[in-house]
Amino acid sequence: MNPLVWGLLVSTLSTSTIITMSSHHWLLAWLGLELNTLSILPIIMKPQHPRATEATTKYFLIQT
């Protein structure tokens, strides 16, 4: 994975966690959780192994 993309995913993950923890409105909390989900999926799938792909798919389907 490109280091720029990796850095973007990690920064999005940390930003979404901060948004979720500091939100005072349910819409911001939901937005932070959705950003967190979308940024963690490529990180889970990074090893390019069939089990990683399966885990990512299961995580996405359960979260949906």
Residue 19 is part of which domain span?
Answer: 3-63
- What is this structure's pTM? 0.76
Mean pLDDT, 10 residues at a time, the chain of 64 residues: 90 95 96 92 86 88 81
State residue 6's pLDDT score: 92
DSSP per-residue codes, 1-64: --HHHHHHHHHHHHHHHHHHHH-SSHHHHHHHHHHHHHHHHHHHTTT--HHHHHHHHHHHHHH-
State residue 46's pLDDT score: 83
Alpha-carbon distance of 1 to 33, in angstroms, equals 24
State residue 7's pLDDT score: 93
State residue 48's pLDDT score: 83
State residue 9's pLDDT score: 92
Alpha-carbon distance of 51 to 56, in angstroms, equals 8
Domain count, the chain: 1
CA 58 to chain centre: 14
